[in-house]
Chain A
Amino acid sequence: MKPRWILLLAAAAPLMAAPPVVVRNANVLTVTKGRFVGSILIRDGKIAEAGEKIRTPEGAQVIDASGQYVMPGIIDNHSHIAAESTNEGSVSVSSMVDIRDVLNPEDIAIYRALAGGVTTILTTHGSANAIGGVCSALKMRWGKDAAGLMVDGSAPVLKMALGENPKRRGGATQFGGNITPRYPATRMGVEDVIREAFTEAQAYRQTRRDYEAKLKRGEKAAAPRRDIRLDPLVEVLEGRCLVHVHAYRADETLMMLRLAQEFGFRVHALIHVLEGYKVAKEIAAHNAGATTFSDWWAYKMEAADAIPYNAALMHRKGVLVALNSDSPELMRHLNQEAAKAIKYGGVTEDEALAMITINPARQIGLDQRVGSIEPGKDADLVIYDKHPLSNYAKVQKVLIEGEVYFDRDRDVSQREERESRRKALVEKAKEQQKKAGPPGTRRPS
């Protein structure tokens, strides 16, 4: 009898662990389905219902959001936080590196992102080389381990880069001689490197296919060497890995789109693309997304021809536009970045909010799960005290899959205790050093 009871309890445990959650009486900004005053019912981490009249089930955890604003969790699809590496800059094709190997779930930037309403990010390889590495979508589940940040079933993303960064050729005259001379040194060279890498990947794929065909026919064959640098490129060719390309100038943006067409893959997002407004029609025709800044530019030559109307103009021409941070500071107020698209270019509120929610979700292939408040989607929600497009709005609570990961009241109330704990530890460490005496005995050598 006893074992059966235990089994029953074990089966019930996950249900008991997560009672339904109701966010009540809020101004709900769904992004895709308009706006209403009402409630959101969350079951098992998913949005079960959203509407003006929702019955609160018994035993539900109620979050009263009267007078407050709820929107889908912000998605920043170009960030470098939560990882302990950014660039494998020693080579021009470093697709063997994978950000999932070096996740740091204890990066404080994760918590700060939450405090800014961000629930999902794409943490990416840097732009030091033409073909960077494999990147991954993460949810900001602060307090969980590396695996706990990952989004089940999300597709990997390959990062590529064009322009000034990958063409830094190194050598004695550049960067204090800290970069080894490296091909390419021109924008043409960048194109060549990418073309060569994908050509190599095609040959590699053929070798593998021939080998598998031989095995199928029952012939004996020696397995070809597996090359983890080419594996992600094959996945790109087969559409199993998404592609994000760092690009600034209009000319090289077009080059990249043509190159992708040549190899039969799609560019899911052009990153930065500050001159995107010049080639918006072509970007839209390729069905490429653009993830850009609102008004951050002029930090280098290729970022000189930027205008604040870029996001709105590209959007008007049918480009799927997102706004990203590329910075652990900017990512804490992406809601304000979205507001700038209204000021410069006059997009609607929903269109502006889409640029930091559903649009970036589409660019990382997660729009079925996140990016808007709709039944069936993950309950990733941000509660603001004021309209999120206001400069005065402060994040009150952040939920990921129904679980509260950030609570402003809790944060404020814990500050004093944390500070006194810190001070006590500093004092204790000082005592310890005093007790240990002078630094370790050293023998003259």
Chain B
Amino acid sequence: MRRTVLLLCVAAYGLAAAPAAVFAIRDARIVRVSGPALERGTVLIRDGLIEQVGPNVAIPPDAWVIEGKGLTVYPGLIDALSTLGIAEAATAAAGARTSRTAAQPAQPTPSPTPPTPASAPARGPEDRPSNTSWVRAADLVSPGDRRVETARSAGITTAMTFPQRGIFAGQGAVINLAGEKGGQMVVSAPAGLYLSVSSAGFTSFPGSLFGVMAYIRQIFLDADHYKLAKEAYAARPVGARRPAYDRALEGVLEAPRLLLPATRAVEVDRMVKFAAELKRPAVLYGVHEGYRATEILKKAGMPVLVSLKWPERSREADPEEVDALRMLEMRERAPSTPAALAKAGVPFAFYTDGTTSGRDLPRAVRRALEAGLSQADAVRAFTLSAAEIYGVADRLGSLEAGKIANLVVTSGELFQEKTQVKHIFVDGMKFEPAPEPAEEVSR
């Protein structure tokens, strides 16, 4: 029985991912993102890379030709913050999805996953609680995460994936959503250090938001001190006492950028100042009240990642309960954040925050479009801007010769209601979208 299932799986994989190395998508509309769209042109893919893009591309005889008439080709979408590919996060995400609907959105930025309380309670920063900064997403990713296919079917070809457990959760990686082994998925690492402000209450340090802030501050001071001590020792190891190896600080020193949580405008203000104090490049994530914080962000020149899980009243909320005006306004106006950021010139990208299904993702983006975001800015945020924020725009984010062949081919304008994803290319491998599961009738 098990063997049959295995065989079926292998067969299905074979159907979904075509192994041919050369593809030509011809006579299609091509949205390059890095330049104006071509109304009719050809994209030639060879050995995982884009070989040529243009109106007059000679199609080599070894190419598998895809008739692109009536179709549009986009760079593959980038989920700018996720846990995709980290299989153990998948189960946590499934659990969080149900419990999070009941969560109070008014609370300070909730962490996607609460920290696991350590066996012995932490007594201060010296115990390095909730710190797994040395954990690398690049070491954890595997194609076995079942969410990968769902996301890919929605047109997502790349994800910035991060361990998200704890305060110093770990090092992210830029991964492509295909490959037979985890190592093949990784495009670039480390992509940054994911920080959350989750706290343990009275049970363990830090037990409060200001405790977390103080803890983060002390860790960065310690990291700087550790670096000096290590350098001094490396320069003259003989006759000197060696500094103790500290993996929690190693991870902090290795991170090229910090990802800091900030959902409300107050939190944006707080974290922009905090990042400046820590003297590290930072990116904010969440940013649902970004429509009120464009000035601060512009002044700080800080890029942000906007969650597409727009805030809404919990469906299980007490119908008698009266929501504060500010909360109601945030729910109403959160989708106007991308348009406001675009207008102010603040670099931003999207992250799906779990809304990866082929139905939910375009719907969430349409809310931003309805609130004033242009189609072109939406596409850019989901492709090139994400690549730029993570410093991988030389390889990803647009349709240009030499870039990684990550593409999504659609029946029309991306994110529109009637538009279907037809083909997806990841690292030059061709995939068809998996059929969308039937909408579940409430149980």
Judge whether A445 is part of the interface by a CB distance below 8 angstroms: yes
Assess the A90–B200 pair: CB atoms within 8 A.
yes
Assess the B437–A441 pair: CB atoms within 8 A.
yes
Could you give, for residues 214-249 of chain A, a 1 whenever the CB lies within 8 Å of some chain B CB and a 0 otherwise? Answer: 000000001101111100000000000000000000
Assess the B214–A101 pair: CB atoms within 8 A.
yes
Assess the B221–A226 pair: CB atoms within 8 A.
yes
Interface majority SS on B: helix, strand, loop or mixed? Answer: helix
Q: How many whole Å from B133's CB to the nearest CB in chain A?
A: 18
With contact pairs A88-B207, A102-B270, A425-B325 given, residues A178 and B436 touching in the complex (Cβ less than 8 Å)? no
- For B215, list chain A residues within 8 Å (CB): 96
- Of the candidates B150, B208, B225, B440, the one having the most CB atoms from chain A within 10 angstroms of its own CB is B208
Query: B217: nearest residue on chain A (CB-CB)?
Result: A228
Assess the B210–A178 pair: CB atoms within 8 A.
no
Q: How many whole Å from B73's CB to the nearest CB in chain A?
A: 27
Chain B interface: which size bin? 35 or more
CA distance A94 to B204 in the complex (A): 12
Could you give, for residues 401-425 of chain A, a 1 whenever the CB lies within 8 Å of some chain B CB and a 0 otherwise? Answer: 0000000000000000010011001
Assess the A96–B225 pair: CB atoms within 8 A.
no
Complex interface: stretch among B57-65, B280-288, B328-336: B328-336
Q: How many whole Å from A59's CB to the nearest CB in chain B?
A: 30
- For B40, list chain A residues within 8 Å (CB): none
Judge whether A87 is part of the interface by a CB distance below 8 angstroms: yes
- For A337, list chain B residues within 8 Å (CB): none
Judge whether A437 is part of the interface by a CB distance below 8 angstroms: yes
Assess the A180–B210 pair: CB atoms within 8 A.
no
Assess the A89–B328 pair: CB atoms within 8 A.
no
Q: How many whole Å from A167's CB to the nearest CB in chain B?
A: 14
Complex interface: stretch among B9-17, B116-124, B158-166: B116-124
Q: How many whole Å from A294's CB to the nearest CB in chain B?
A: 30
Interface residues of B in 282-323 (CB under 8 A from A): 312-313, 315, 323
Q: How many whole Å from B258's CB to the nearest CB in chain A?
A: 16
Judge whether A10 is part of the interface by a CB distance below 8 angstroms: no
Judge whether A442 is part of the interface by a CB distance below 8 angstroms: yes
Interface majority SS on A: helix, strand, loop or mixed? Answer: loop
CA distance A97 to B205 in the complex (A): 11
Judge whether A106 is part of the interface by a CB distance below 8 angstroms: yes
Assess the B266–A96 pair: CB atoms within 8 A.
no
Judge whether A85 is part of the interface by a CB distance below 8 angstroms: yes
Assess the A84–B108 pair: CB atoms within 8 A.
yes
Chain A interface: which size bin? 35 or more
Query: A126: nearest residue on chain B (CB-CB)?
Result: B208
Q: How many whole Å from A265's CB to the nearest CB in chain B?
A: 22
With contact pairs A90-B204, A226-B225, A228-B218 given, residues A425 and B332 touching in the complex (Cβ less than 8 Å)? yes
Residue A145 contacts which of B97, B213, B269, B360 (CB distance < 8 angstroms)?
B269
Assess the A90–B209 pair: CB atoms within 8 A.
no
Assess the A229–B124 pair: CB atoms within 8 A.
yes
Query: A90: nearest residue on chain B (CB-CB)?
Result: B207
Judge whether A390 is part of the interface by a CB distance below 8 angstroms: no
Could you give, for residues 26-42 of chain B, a 1 whenever the CB lies within 8 Å of some chain A CB and a 0 otherwise? Answer: 00000000000000000
Assess the B329–A425 pair: CB atoms within 8 A.
yes
CA distance A181 to B264 in the complex (A): 35
- Of the candidates A84, A86, A98, the one having the most CB atoms from chain B within 10 angstroms of its own CB is A84
Chain A residues engaging chain B, CB cutoff 8 angstroms: 83-91, 94, 96-99, 101-106, 108, 128, 133, 145-146, 170, 175, 178-180, 222-223, 225-229, 418, 421-422, 425-426, 428-429, 432-433, 436-443, 445
| Between-chain CB contacts (< 8 Å), 22 pairs | A88-B205, A88-B208, A89-B208, A94-B211, A94-B214, A96-B125, A99-B210, A101-B270, A145-B269, A146-B269, A170-B202, A178-B203, A179-B203, A180-B203, A228-B217, A422-B323, A425-B329, A425-B332, A429-B328, A436-B363, A441-B360, A441-B436
Listed from nearest, the 4 A-B pairs whose CB atoms lie closest are A90-B207, A425-B328, A96-B214, A88-B211
Chain B residues engaging chain A, CB cutoff 8 angstroms: 94, 97, 101, 108, 121-125, 150, 200-211, 213-215, 217-218, 221-222, 225, 228-229, 232, 264-266, 269-270, 274, 312-313, 315, 323-326, 328-329, 331-332, 355, 357, 359-360, 363, 436-437, 439-442
